[in-house]
Structures are given as structure tokens and as C-alpha cells.
Chains A and B, each alone.
Chain A
Amino acid sequence: ETGVTQTPRHLVMGMTNKKSLKCEQHLGHNAMYWYKQSAKKPLELMFVYSLEERVENNSVPSRFSPECPNSSHLFLHLHTLQPEDSALYLCASSQDLASEYNEQFFGPGTRLTVL
């Protein structure tokens, strides 16, 4: 595997389910991100991790719970979601957060549908 991978690619869940999204980066980066991309809305940054520590949480509802067990893996745990949470969830990584030249590398995303 190369780059940033995400599983699953598609997920359909009911509002009472619990599921997790997984992201893995094979680039040796130290920073990882979760974004939400909804139709007709700008890209929304949800969480940022640097060296496995959360550095930003942009007022995301508690029904989204991130986990970063090491610098290569990032999870997004989902529970009691709402239909408006249906979106494409993108994971990204970058070398670190200290450089102004902070190119981010993206995974293919998980298309989430909440029924």
C-alpha cells in the first residue's frame, strides 16, 4: 500500500449503530487530519493530530470520536449519528504542522450514509 488509505470506502448505517472509519498513511508523516465534505458546502476540518496528540477539535459533535493510536493510523468512531452527518469523510496527512509549506496528502474518502 502507498499513500493514504481509508476503509471502508462506503458505509451505510442506522442512527443507532456504532461504526468506525479507519485511515492509514504510509508516508512517514507526523500529522493526520479528518475532514468532512458535504454537498454544496466547503471542506470542513474536523480534527487534527500531531504525533498522536489532538491539536484541534473544531466544535465537532461528541457523536464523532477520533483516535490516533500511532502516527500511521487514525480512526473516527461514530455513534448515534444523524442523517445530516451523511457526507464524504476524508483523511489526510502531512509531514508535520511546523512548516508553512504544509502539503497535505489525501485518502480516497469514506462515503457515509446515515439512514
Chain B
Amino acid sequence: AQSVTQLGSHVSVSEGALVLLRCNYSSSVPPYLFWYVQYPNQGLQLLLKYTSAATLVKGINGFEAEFKKSETSFHLTKPSAHMSDAAEYFCAVSDRLDSNYQLIWGAGTKLIIKP
């Protein structure tokens, strides 16, 4: 079974600084990977997804993620943080359980933006 590790339950950056949120997965076979964002008091919203078409994936709100097979990583980045980016971010991988596919979730990383 797949597993997902997000390094750092909290990440704090200054407004305008680079955002880097880390995600590592366990599979030896390139999986489908997702980043979701959850703003306070809301559900999860898809930020971007990797489906093997391109290793660098661009998402909404200026975020992007790079799939690195050799490192089994799918880290999320944004060149310049904005106050509105303060939220919790979840990495997920698609995994097959019996005959069904489901998402395996990381524990989440709360992004804090300092003015």
C-alpha cells in the first residue's frame, strides 16, 4: 500500500518569500499525485495534479509542483507568498485497494504567512 509523508506540520514564511511544501510518496511505480488546499472553515480544493503528462505541473494561485521519480517526491512551490496563501495543504496519492482506486492522504502542512 502507498503512503504519503509531508515533512513539517507547520511551515512559516514571510510575505513575498518562496514557499516550499514537501511531499514524498512510497511507491516504486509512478503514481497519480495531488495537492489540495483547505482554507479555514472550508472543504478541500484541488490545487494541482500529476498524471504523468509532464513532470512540472502548474496549478491555481501561482502554485506548481515537480514530480521527481528518483526522489519519490512531489514538492509544492510558489515563488512569492501572499497573505491569502495561509491555509492547510494536503498531498495525496492514488492507490489501488482491491479493485478500487482511492486517495491516500498526507497529514497536511499548515502554511503560515508572516507580514
Contacts and interface: CB of A to CB of B under 8 A. Distances in A.
Given A102-B32, A102-B94, A107 B43 contact: yes
A4 B102 contact: no
Contacts, number: 63
Given A43-B90, A101-B32, A101-B94, A109 B43 contact: yes
Chain B interface extent, by class: 20 to 34
Contacts of B101: 97-100, 102
Contact of B43 (A40, A90, A98): A90
Interface SS of B by simple majority: strand
A14 B32 CA distance: 42
Interface residues of A, number: 27
B48 to A, nearest CB: 11
Contacts of B106: 42
